[in-house]
Amino acid sequence: MKNIYKYLLETCERKGAGHIVLIDPDRKNDGSFETYVEIVNNSGADAIFIGGSLMMDGQFHERVAKIKALSNVPIIFFPGGANQLNEHYDAILFMSLLSGRNPQYLIGEQVVSAPIISDLKIETIPTGYLLLDGGGKSTVGFMSASHPIPLNRTDITEAHALAAQYLGMKLVYLEAGSGAQTPVPTETIQTLSEKVDIPLIVGGGIRTPEDAEKRVRSGASFIVTGTVLETSDSSSLMQELASAIHVTE
Tens of pLDDT along 99-108?
999 999 999 9
User: What value does the mean pLDDT take over residues 73-100?
Assistant: 97
pLDDT at 138 over 70: yes
Give ∠ CA 77-215-242 in degrees, rounded to 5: 60
Q: What percent of the chain has pLDDT over 90?
A: 84
Residue 122 pLDDT > 80: yes
Q: What is the pLDDT of residue 56?
A: 79
Fold category of 4-245 in CATH: TIM Barrel (3.20.20)
Q: Which residues contact 186 (CB under 8 A, 6 or more apart)?
A: 214, 215, 218
Q: Would you state the pLDDT for residue 92? A: 99
Residue 1 has what pLDDT? 62
Q: What is the mean pLDDT of residues 7-11?
A: 99
Q: What type of residue sits at position 133?
A: D
Phi, psi of 92 (to 5 degrees): -130, 130
Number of other CB atoms surrounding residue 54 within 10 Å: 13
Mean pLDDT of the chain: 95
Q: Where are the domains of the chain?
A: 4-245
Express each pLDDT in 145-166 by its tens digit.
889 999 999 999 999 999 999 9
Residue 27 has pLDDT above 80, yes or no: no
The residue-averaged pLDDT of 197-201 equals 99
Buried b (16+ CB within 10 A) or exposed e, 141-167: beebebebbebeebeebbebbbbbbee
Mean pLDDT score, 134-148: 86
